[in-house]
Amino acid sequence: MKFRNIFITGGAGYVGAVLVPRLLEEGCQVTVLDLMIYGESVLQSHPQLRIVSGDIRDQQLLADELPGHDAVIHLACISNDPSFELNPDLGKSINLDAFLPLVSKSRKSGVRRFIYASSSSVYGIKEESDVHETMSLEPLTDYSRFKAECESILNDQIGSEFSPVTIRPATVCGYSPRQRLDVVVNILTNLAYHKRQITIFGGDQLRPNIHISDMVDCYLAALNATDQEVSGKIFNAGYENQTVRDLAETVRDVIGPDVELVTTSTDDNRSYHISSNRIRKELGFIPKHTIREAVEDLKKAFDQGLLPNSLTDEKYFNIKRMQSLEFT
């Protein structure tokens, strides 16, 4: 690995819970800063892992913890629009207001590579078939707008000793020790497995997705790249743009032919899609895992009883957990 001492905000989240063990396997020293609102047992103890239960808005904590790290992967945020809209002031304080202080303190602490997890939702709705990184941003929500603003803030900090890079991921899917069941492929799989029925609203809408293992590989590619390859650059990261109907049919193929697909009309026919050609050409990153594999991984987890009470337990659904918490 090019960088060996990695600081990860939100490292006990859905992606972080898969990324952290992978970095440890690569021999990295890892510090995770996370509010730990989804449980303390997500990450297993490891001699090269330090877990800090805390808030990225805590400036003294950042000043104490950042020195000694040469790379930051910033995953922490109030994730997805419904959770953000529960408390917009809280969302803004974490997703936007805390960002520049984190970047500034990282740079002053000697961090040389800063990887920001943005979102492909910053594009809004595009009619063009090839939605690439140089296209205009038309975010539809404050969640997406703040993601776009943070991208600009980050690139204003470029320096000879500080190489920032932004990743715009598609929707991540598949199994994680900190499971989310509120993203499209995972939702469909959960319903198919337990209810034996999927309701498809519309069905022709496109959705970009990426297997969680490929998302982890993407962050490793961003870590291992040279400054010239990534500094100040933005990369989309996705596998395929598939219709909701195609995703549902893939789920049924994996879960079983008895799963009923019910199609109903909807007023929301928005399609989202991205091109990931740039990251393939410039960093050599090519996803290795299909969406079908993500469904298979989830089915295996259900079969093994790794996701009990998956229809009702709030820990699998960000908005439900946010509703049950009281923090500001």
Q: What is the CATH number of the domain that holds 190?
A: 3.40.50.720
Report helix, strand or coil for 110.
Answer: coil
Q: What is the DSSP string of 45-57?
A: --TTEEEEE--TT
pLDDT at 166: 98
pLDDT digits (tens, 9 = 90+) for 186-200: 999 999 999 999 999
pLDDT at residue 328 tops 80: no
Burial 16-55 (b: 16+ CB within 10 A, else e): bbbbbbebbeeebbbbbbbbbebeeebbeeeeebebbebb
In this predicted structure, what is the pLDDT of residue 260? Answer: 98
Q: What is the mean pLDDT of residues 200-207?
A: 92
- The SS3 of residue 268 is coil
Query: Amino acid identity of 134?
Result: T
What pLDDT, on a 0 to 100 scale, did the predictor assign at position 176?
98
Query: Is the distance from CB of 102 to CB of 62 less than 8 angstroms?
Result: yes
- Write out pLDDT tens, residues 148-169: 999 999 999 999 999 999 999 9
* Structural domain count of the chain: 1
- pTM metric for this prediction: 0.96
Classify strands 113-117 and 71-74 as parallel, antiparallel or unpaired.
Answer: parallel
98, 144, 159 from 93: Cα distances, Å: 6, 14, 26
Beta carbons within 8 Å of 313's beta carbon, 6+ residues apart:
none
**Given the DSSP bridges, would you call strands 260-264 and 5-9 parallel, antiparallel or unpaired?**
unpaired
- For residues 125-146, average pLDDT: 92
Structural domain for 220, as ranges: 5-324
pLDDT at res. 167: 98
pLDDT of residue 22: 98
